[in-house]
Amino acid sequence: MTRNAILALLLGATLMLNACATVKGAGKDIQSVGQAGEDAINK
């Protein structure tokens, strides 16, 4: 039982870390699109 709990905890931690990386990347993409739009408006 303990082995299954540890395995589930590690799997959950891995999924959470991957999700954070994905959200962070998406945030950077959105920020770069906003910056490009702002640069186009200011020209």
pLDDT in tens, 1-43: 688 888 888 888 887 777 777 877 778 888 888 888 888 888 7
Amino acid at 10: L
In terms of DSSP H, where are the helices of the chain? Answer: 2-42
pLDDT at res. 31 = 87
The CA-atom distances, in angstroms, between 23 and each of 1, 3, 11, 20 are: 33, 30, 19, 5
What pTM was computed for the model? 0.53
The CA-atom distances, in angstroms, between 26 and each of 2, 6, 15, 23, 36 are: 36, 30, 16, 5, 15
Q: Which domain holds residue 31?
A: 1-43
pLDDT at res. 1 = 67
pLDDT at res. 18 = 75
- Residue 1, classed as helix, strand or coil, is coil
Split into its structural domains, the chain has a count of 1
Structure tokens at 32: 């770069």
Give the position of tokens 């959200």: 23
